[in-house]
């Protein structure tokens, strides 16, 4: 029986480009658009780019680390690649969908695998009203920003903002403030994965705010809605000894 069709893509850094040349010389240079498995060579940022690029075509992404941290990547080894792909464990991630409306009425939709974040644009703190499933839960949060994170993204910016690490199977999203001023001691919330989170930017012209879904930024937003999009999925492959669920669990016990 024939194995899966494999293709390779790489980031621009020299180590990733060299790995691309070596692997294509050994295993062939298939077209990513026709592949069953796409091997992404780079770091976590490039992995997110690859997931966004190929999310709609059903291919599984097997990352190999040619970057720095490589939290979403497998270890790099150019030997026995097809065997590793065959025995890899499959993980399906559903992204967040952001619907942002700017103060001038522009509507922008984007998806985020890690998080959707709101940030103040000027020296003045942002003022944000927060509703969950249509019910206002916080009338005014004064802050540098706020984010909604998926479990997969909970160890990224969410963790840097002192948000909780969320196991993949927990079925929750993390709502985490960024440098909250009032209420000063509010640390955020855990929400059901199917919750719809709505942000209203108060004094939006005086205190402008940007909304960012992974690498899509919308300036001067008035409202932002965030919900998990179950109609699309990112498919990742991990070596059994290097699976993402274990790494997220392990992160909770690190100092």
CA angle, residues 161, 177, 236, in degrees to nearest 5: 60
Beta strands in the chain (DSSP E): 6-10, 37-42, 60-65, 89-93, 96-102, 107-112, 115-120, 126-132, 135-143, 145-149, 172-178, 189-192, 197-202, 209-213, 216-218, 221-228, 234-238
**What span, in angstroms and rounded, lies between the C-alpha atoms of 78 and 156?**
28
44 noted as active-site residue: yes
Instruction: Give the largest CA-CA distance in the chain.
Output: 64
**Annotated catalytic residue: which of 12, 22, 36, 44?**
44
**CA-wise closest residue to 27 among 68, 51, 53, 62:** 62
User: Could you check whether the bond before residue 22 is cis, i.e. omega within 30 degrees of 0?
Assistant: no
Helix (H, G, I), strand (E, B) or coil at 53: helix
Could you list the active site residues?
44
């Amino acid at each position: 029986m024939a194995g899966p069709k494999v293709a390779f893509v790489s980031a621009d850094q020299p180590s990733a480009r060299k790995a691309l040349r070596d692997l294509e010389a050994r295993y062939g240079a298939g077209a990513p658009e026709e592949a069953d498995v796409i091997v992404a060579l780079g770091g976590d940022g490039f992995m997110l780019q690859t997931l966004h690029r190929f999310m709609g075509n059903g291919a599984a992404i097997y990352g190999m680390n040619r970057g720095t941290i490589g939290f979403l990547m497998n270890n790099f080894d150019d030997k026995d690649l097809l065997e590793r792909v065959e025995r890899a464990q499959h993980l399906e991630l559903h992204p967040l969908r952001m619907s942002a409306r700017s103060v001038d009425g522009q509507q922008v939709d984007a998806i985020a695998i890690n998080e959707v974040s709101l940030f103040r644009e000027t020296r003045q703190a942002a003022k944000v009203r927060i509703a969950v499933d249509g019910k206002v839960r916080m009338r005014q949060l004064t802050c540098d920003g706020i984010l909604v994170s998926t479990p997969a993204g909970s160890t990224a910016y969410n963790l840097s903002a002192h948000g909780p690490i969320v196991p993949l199977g927990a079925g929750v999203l993390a709502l985490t403030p960024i440098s909250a001023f009032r209420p000063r001691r509010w640390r955020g919330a855990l929400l059901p994965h199917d919750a719809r989170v709505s942000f209203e930017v108060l004094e939006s012209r005086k205190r402008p705010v940007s909304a960012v879904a992974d690498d899509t930024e919308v300036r001067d937003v008035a409202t932002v809605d965030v919900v998990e999009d179950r109609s699309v999925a990112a498919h990742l492959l991990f070596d059994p000894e290097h699976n993402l669920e274990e790494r997220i669990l392990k992160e909770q016990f690190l100092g």
